[in-house]
Amino acid sequence: MMKKIVVIIGGGPAGMSCALWLKHLGFHPIIIEKSKQLGGLQTINPFHNRWYLGVPGQTGKELAQQFRRHVEIEFLTTLLDSKLKRITRKKTKDNFSIFTEEQEITAQAIAIATGQRFKSYESIESIAGSNQLLLSQNVCFNPGAIPRTHGQVVAVVGGGDNGLGTAVMLADTAKHVHLFVRSQIRGFGMNQKMVLDYIEAGKITLHKPATIHQFDLREEKIYVTFKEGDNRSEEIQVDYICFRMGFAPNIEEIVELLDVGGVVSLELNSAGYIATDRFLRTSIANVYAAGDLVSFWDPCVATAVGQDTIAARSVEEDLRSNV
Ligand SMILES: Cc1cc2nc3c(=O)[nH]c(=O)nc-3n(C[C@H](O)[C@H](O)[C@H](O)COP(=O)(O)OP(=O)(O)OC[C@H]3O[C@@H](n4cnc5c(N)ncnc54)[C@H](O)[C@@H]3O)c2cc1C
């Protein structure tokens, strides 16, 4: 008997884990990944992934490589560099038709694992002078980048773990780090403690609550005008600026495709991520979602991998009768 096909959209840790489980549960999983390689956000993580059990000393990039190797060894079907064009559901049957630029796939279920993207220029576009920063080499949005800022004055904008981590990482070698936080610091207590230690050591200045009003680029230097609490506006000059503005879910395209294709609308939660029950079923029958685009409160590899294991089990339970 032909195995039931489950299309997995997104080939990060969540999508790969889902495919592995589905294969061993007797399905034919097909991963559709829009980029040229599997691995998701771990492909831009040059830091040691100290949080994932069993891989001490490995960077995120190395872990992504291991995951890819596992997918190869298991001969999991993967469509790379593949753009979704349309998703429809046949009226008479429960099957989905999934169209990419190259082919049409008929699937009995869909697992969405498209993760998140880091916020970039769009998150500062409304600030006066921000367009000038586009001309500068000394501006960075990518949380996986390690800027060369030895002996320089650096601004870091963002009070989450990425902002705090970047400030601490650069403080060792920079001349000074200005950390801008809009309201409250939100990172792990451990990261907050490290920032406090660097503040005490005179390496980091914390501006909080701070609102940035203007950027200005003059002779390779970046000028930041901001207001801190009730103080008067002030301007500081920095050599380099790192924005760590958080993440947004990769859902717009999927929501639109399901909607336009006549499949019912996907329900989102109040944070704008996909709403699921605790077994990762979405509001649409036989559509599941897992990983960062669901668990935005705990975005990490362990959660992504674990969640898609649960999603795969839900697929098995829902389609079990005639696998
Ligand atoms: C710099 C950095 C460091 C990190 N460090 C750690 C760490 O040390 N430890 C840890 O546990 N976690 C870390 N994380 C978080 C971790 O990488 C994520 O939690 C994890 O990758 C989430 O997996 P995911 O599969 O849900 O999503 P992702 O990894 O984001 O994968 C989603 C995939 O879906 C694809 N996709 C998106 N839209 C579409 C579409 N329309 N069609 C097809 N494919 C699509 C994307 O290209 C991507 O490959 C880090 C993240 C960053 C950015």
What pLDDT tens digit does each residue of the chain (323 aa) get?
789 999 999 999 999 999 999 999 999 999 999 999 999 999 999 999 999 999 999 999 999 999 999 999 999 999 999 999 999 987 666 799 999 999 999 999 999 999 999 999 999 999 999 999 998 999 999 999 999 999 999 999 999 999 999 999 999 999 999 999 999 998 899 999 999 999 999 999 999 999 999 999 998 899 999 999 999 999 999 999 999 999 999 999 999 998 877 777 899 999 999 999 999 999 999 999 999 999 888 899 999 999 999 999 999 999 986 54
229 plus 194 within the same structural domain: yes
110 plus 134 within the same structural domain: no
138 plus 210 within the same structural domain: yes
Contacts by 292-299 with C-beta closer than 8 Å and gap 24+?
292/12, 292/14, 292/41, 292/115, 292/116, 292/247, 292/249, 293/112, 293/113, 293/114, 293/115, 293/116, 293/249, 293/250, 293/251, 296/116, 296/247, 296/249, 296/271, 299/116, 299/247
Please choose from 66, 301, 307 the residue to mutate so as to test ligand 1's pocket, defined by most ligand atoms within 8 A of CB: 301
212 plus 267 within the same structural domain: no
Domain range for residue 227?
A: 121-245
Where does residue 269 rank: exposed (0-12), middle (13-18), buried (19+ CB within 10 A)?
Answer: exposed
CB–CB of 41/12 below 8 Å?
yes
pLDDT attached to residue 89: 87
127 plus 155 within the same structural domain: yes
252 plus 235 within the same structural domain: no
State which of 245, 271, 289 marks the end of a domain: 245
pLDDT attached to residue 323: 46
Q: Is the CB of 158 under 6 A from ligand 1?
A: no
State which of 214, 245, 276 marks the end of a domain: 245
Q: Is the CB of 20 under 6 A from ligand 1?
A: no
CA dihedral over 77, 51, 198, 175, signed as positive or negative = negative
Q: What is the DSSP letter of 290?
A: -
State which of 212, 245, 278 marks the end of a domain: 245
Where does residue 189 rank: exposed (0-12), middle (13-18), buried (19+ CB within 10 A)?
Answer: exposed
Q: Is the CB of 246 under 6 A from ligand 1?
A: no
Q: Quick one: which atom of ligand 1 is closest to the CA of 35?
A: 47
Tell me which residue has its CA closest to atom 45 in ligand 1. 10
Token couple for 138: 């000394």
Token couple for 150: 């030895």
φ and ψ of 10, to 5 deg: 110, 125
Number of compact structural domains in the chain: 2
pLDDT attached to residue 144: 95
Q: Is the CB of 10 under 6 A from ligand 1?
A: yes
Q: Quick one: which atom of ligand 1 is closest to the CA of 52?
A: 11
Distance between alpha carbon 118 and the CA centroid of its chain, in Å?
A: 6
Tell me which residue has its CA closest to atom 41 in ligand 1. 253
130 plus 270 within the same structural domain: no
Please choose from 31, 42, 120 the residue to mutate so as to test ligand 1's pocket, defined by most ligand atoms within 8 A of CB: 42
136 plus 252 within the same structural domain: no
112 plus 59 within the same structural domain: yes
Cα separation, 165 vs 156, in Å, equals: 10
103 plus 213 within the same structural domain: no
Q: Is the CB of 291 under 6 A from ligand 1?
A: yes
CATH number of the domain to which 294 belongs: 3.50.50.60
Q: Is the CB of 250 under 6 A from ligand 1?
A: yes
Tell me which residue has its CA closest to atom 12 in ligand 1. 300
176 CA distance to ligand 1 middle (Å)? 31
User: Looking at the DSSP assignment, which residues form a beta bridge with residue 234?
Assistant: 226
In this prediction the pTM is 0.95
pLDDT attached to residue 280: 97
> What CA–CA distances, in Å, run from 260 to 15, 87, 138, 241, 299?
24, 8, 41, 41, 29
**Segments in 50-140 forming alpha helices (H):** 60-73, 130-133
Q: What is the DSSP letter of 56?
A: T
